[in-house]
Structures are given as C-alpha cells and as structure tokens.
A and B are shown apart, each in its own frame.
Chain A
Amino acid sequence: MSNVRQISVFVDNKPNQLAGVMKMIKECRINVRALSLADTSDFGIVRMIVNDTDKTVEKLKATSYAVTVTEVVAISIPDSPGQLSRVLDILGGKNVNLEYLYTFLGKSDRSVSFVIRVDDIANASEALTDGGIIQLTENDIAEM
C-alpha cells in the first residue's frame, strides 16, 4: 500500500492563524510538499503533506492544535491535456467518491502531482494501479 498521510489542522477564521502553523513548521525545519486551506465562516482546515509527518503532528499537538491524520492518495501524472480527466474517470468507474483534491507545490517540466482524498482508499488505490497511474509513497515525497 502506498498511501500517504495527510495532516489536517483546525484553525480559527481570524488573522495570523495559518501564520502560526507555518511558523511552527519553519522552526522545526519541516518542508511542506502540498498545502490546501478549506474555509468556512467560522473556521478553516489546513491540509498538508510534509516531509516528516510524525514530527509535525507531535509538535502541533504539543502546542494544543487540533490535528488529525488521514490517508490520502498521491499521484503523479504527465503534464499534458486530458490526464486528470483520465484519473477521474478511473475513480468514477469504480464508484469511488472524491472528497477533495489539491496539487503538490513541487514543480517539474513533465509531470504534475495531486493529493486526492476519497471515501474508499483501498478501492481507489487498486483502480489507479490497474489504470497505470503512478502513485507516490511517503519516501518519494520526502525526496521531492
């Protein structure tokens, strides 16, 4: 199984909240590989993939942040038209429900990487493997 762990952090919807999380990550010399921020009128959820999940979670929890770790799929696909559509068709074909997705920060000339949060990760992962989609492991991400 090549699933990747995503860290989610609860933040209040007011100034300096994301800054607080990022400052802590900076102090720990942790590198963020993918980041997305979901917002509501009351609060936000910072989701991220980092190069050292355990250390980040430990540090955030010690500072009283509400943190949760979820398994997600990370894929790398060629940077050309129709590639994401192909991935979504594979998932849709297996009736996998997609909760949200966002891109990795790293950039290469030929490929683009996505974080995909689905309701049925085992099913999704198998379907992607069968469909010939490259899935990234935590090791791959740490080396990015």
Chain B
Amino acid sequence: MEKYWNKEIECMSREDMKKLQDGRLVAQVKHVYENVKYYRDLMDKKGVKPEDIKGTEDLHKLPFLSKADLREAYPYGLLAKPLGDCVRIHSTSGTTGKRVVAFYTQNDVDMWEDCCARAITAAGGNEDDVVQVAYGYGLFTGGMGLHGGSHKAGCLTLPMSSGNTERQIQFMQDLGSTILCCTPSYAAYIGETIAEMGIKPEDLKLKAGIFGAEPWTEEMRRSIEKSLGIKAYDIYGLTESSGPGVAFECSEQTGMHINEDNFIPEIIDPDTGEVLPEGTVGELVFTSITKEAFPLLRYRTRDLCVLSRKKCSCGRTLIKMAKPMGRSDDMMIIRGVNVFPSQIETVLIEQGYSPNYLIEVDRVNNTDTLDISVEMNPEQFSDKVKDMQKQERDLAVAIKTMLGINPKVHLVSPKSITRSEGKAVRVIDRRKLHD
C-alpha cells in the first residue's frame, strides 16, 4: 500500500489544487511587488501590476527571473523579508560563476522539510527506518534538506555528510541503515566499494535510496539498484527554490511528482520564452508560491524536461516531471551537434562500463575534438592488444550512433578516474581557453 506524508495535498483533486495555487500565487505576487524593489522594477518594466494576476492562468504575464538576475541581486537584492525574520542561509557551489545565496524563514525551512518528508515517505520511509544522509552538510542544500525531512518523517537520522566511504559502509552495517540519501555518483561509488570489500548487497539492510543534485540516467539507476540491492528514487530541487524536494519520485519510478502546492511548474521554449503545452520538451520554470524570504517567480531552471498529468499508479495527483535530460548549460555543442554527458553515460552503462568517465572537448585546427576516457572493464581484459583496441573502437561506434559525431575513446585503468563524493565533474571543455 502506498503511503503518503500529506495525503490531502498529494492526492488533491486538480480543481482544489488550482484553487489553492490561485490564492497563493495572488498573495505571493503582491508580497514580492511590495517588498522587493528588484521584482517591482522588473514588473513595472513589463507593465504588469499585481492586480493583473488573478490566478495561475495569468502566470505567463509575469517576467522571467534568471540566474543572471540572482547574481545581479546578490546578496540581498531579492530578499522579501527583514533579515530578522530569516533563520538560515544556503548557497550554490558557485562553480559556474558568482555564488547564489538563498534565505529561509522558519516557515520556509518547515515547508522545505515537509517536501523532503514526502519524498522519504514515498520511498517507503517511516519511524522504523534508519536514514543515512551522505549528502554534504553545510551551505549545500542536500544534507540539511534530507536531514530535516528525515527528522520530520520520524526516521532515525544518521547525519554522515559525504566522504569517508569506509566509515559510511561501517555505519551502514553496524547501525542497519535502511535508506541512503546522497548524489547518484556517490551512491555508485559506495556500491563499488562495497563489492570491493567483499560485502554482498543482501548483507546490508538498505532497501531504498534517494538520489539527486546531479543528472543521472536510467541505466545508472539500474546499476546502483543492483550494486546496493535497493530501489533508487530520484529527487529534484535547486538551491534557488529551497533545495531537494521540489519534486520526488514514487514507487512507479516514471518521473517525479512536483509539490505543486508550493511550486508551480511551466515548460517554456528556451529561445522564445513561449509557454509550451504539456508533453513538450522545454526548459523548466518554477514559481514558488509559499516561500517567504526568497520567493522566486518564474525562475528559469535551465533544466530541460517534460511535464505529464497522466494518472499515476501511486494515487498521487501531483503533476510529474520527467528526469531532466540535462541542464541547458551542461549541453555542449560539438561540431554543431548538441551533446549531453548523460547520453554518453547511457552508452557506457549499456556496454558494461563503469559510469566513471571524463569527457574532454578541445579545438584543434578549428575542428572540435571529443575525447572520452573510460575505465576499462577488468572482466573483459585481454592480453591481446588487438582485442583491447577493438573494445575502444566498438565503444566509439556505439557513442557515434548515439551522438552522431565521432569520439575518440581511451581506455584507462580501473579506478583511475577520480571518484566524487558530491557532484561529479565529468566534462572539461578546453575550447573556452582559446576563445
């Protein structure tokens, strides 16, 4: 039987949900217009007044907000509550530019933890579970978010943070962890380490994992599920919109339910900004209708995905978003072709290679080059050079079939590509150095 954290909300009829969203959206627009100069200026520039927004059908009238706006408004420009009302700050890693900081009131923290509790419940968690949180704690939202959700759901919470893998496994064994929360790349690494230590998945009490904060493929999901003997659930969120828990997966594993009572999703054409109909792939845009301190209206996530209202077997009526195909800024254009690292990862796992790889893009004589270092599969190691070179060629052909461009594949030693305990670095684009 499917369990819900908040059945009333999670299984609410579409009409009731729309009514709830309408009321919250109208209030939220008024709140930001009155309290945030940055929004007021944006709306005035577009000629929109709070009175023009009477419900979700008027959402498209509002201006978009982008990461560039967040950087420009850094640090206090989008704050909608006095600092005295705020209780927490989180921040993005800032690897793609200036950091973004987000503020939380106590209500914001409660709402966020409630969203995470829904995710943990959907993954089968309750007061009998031991939740091992191996996301990084600190400014990164992963650790604190799932930690709070786990508390709220009444689970015994192990605040491990990321790293020290042998200790993670030791605790997992000694304290009987049943649910693991971390990035998918770290989950894969833990799975690999368990095998290396000679521990079988059935020796552990783990039953589920909640993995997010970086793009991962369906193939990677299956491989993690096998290595840890669990069911792996996806979770989605952004620091900008509170953290993980904006959307979460149920037992059907066919996309993530968006917590629509707090976040209204839209899919837009990333080039024109036009709202696209349900079922079309485009850029995901969120409007947070309950956040007090750092409310984002029509925030462009740069994640490309598709929404669906198809009835879900879990009984939830919350709209579902498909696993993002990748962030529009993860997309590389190589020789004019759009390439996502996730496409390459799919091929690697299908062909029996480990999901640890490094993509290097460069430009030689005005032509883009794509080099992919892949850890060779020890099971397929042959003493004959020609066999090993054939493996490289076969993999290059499979990737060419997927991408449409020829890569150069380099087999490297097992375990020689740096493992990540947080978000994995998979791409080095050297073309930028030449520009």
Contact = CB atoms under 8 A, between A and B. Distances in A.
Contacts of B385: 38, 40, 45
Nearest to B377: A66
Interface string B375-409: 01010011111001100100000000000000000
A109 interface: no
A48 B378 CA distance: 18
Of the listed residues A38, A42, A47, A64, the one surrounded by the most CB atoms of chain B closer than 10 A to its CB is A42
B388 A65 contact: no
Contact of A66 (B378, B384, B410): B378
Nearest to A43: B411
Given A40-B388, A66-B376, A117 B383 contact: yes
A3 B238 CA distance: 61
Main secondary structure of the interface of A (DSSP, over half): strand
Interface string A34-47: 00001010110101
A67 interface: yes
A11 interface: yes
B416 A43 contact: no
Interface residues of B, number: 18
A101 B381 CA distance: 19
A6 B384 CA distance: 12
Given A66-B376, A66-B414, A8 B381 contact: yes
Interface residues of A, number: 21
B11 interface: no
B168 to A, nearest CB: 19
Contact of B383 (A43, A45, A64): A45
B280 interface: no
Given A6-B383, A70-B383, A64 B388 contact: no
A115 to B, nearest CB: 11
Nearest to A46: B383
Contacts of A68: 381-383
A66 B413 contact: yes
B188 to A, nearest CB: 16
A43 B414 contact: no
Contacts of A42: 392, 410-412
Nearest to A47: B383
Contacts of A17: 413
A8 B384 CA distance: 9
A99 interface: yes
A127 to B, nearest CB: 21
Of the listed residues A43, A47, A65, A117, the one surrounded by the most CB atoms of chain B closer than 10 A to its CB is A43
A120 interface: no
B46 interface: no
B378 A67 contact: yes
Contacts of B384: 99-100, 117
Contacts of B383: 6, 8, 45, 47, 68, 70, 117
A17 B412 CA distance: 12
Nearest to B378: A66
A42 B389 CA distance: 9
A111 B415 CA distance: 42
A68 B377 CA distance: 12
Interface in A63-118: 64-68, 70, 99-100, 117
Nearest to B373: A42
Nearest to B389: A40
A45 B388 contact: yes
Contacts of A47: 383
Contacts of B413: 10-12, 17, 43, 64-66
Nearest to B196: A64
Contacts of A99: 384
Of the listed residues B196, B383, B389, B410, the one surrounded by the most CB atoms of chain A closer than 10 A to its CB is B383
A65 B381 CA distance: 11
Interface of A: 6, 8, 10-12, 17, 38, 40, 42-43, 45, 47, 64-68, 70, 99-100, 117
Which 7 residue pairs of A and B lie closest in terms of their CB atoms, listed nearest first? A8-B383, A66-B378, A42-B410, A66-B381, A64-B415, A68-B381, A38-B385
Given A40-B389, A42-B411, A117-B384, 5 more contacts: A45-B383, A67-B378, A67-B381, A68-B382, A68-B383
6 contacts: A17-B413, A40-B385, A40-B389, A65-B413, A66-B413, A67-B381
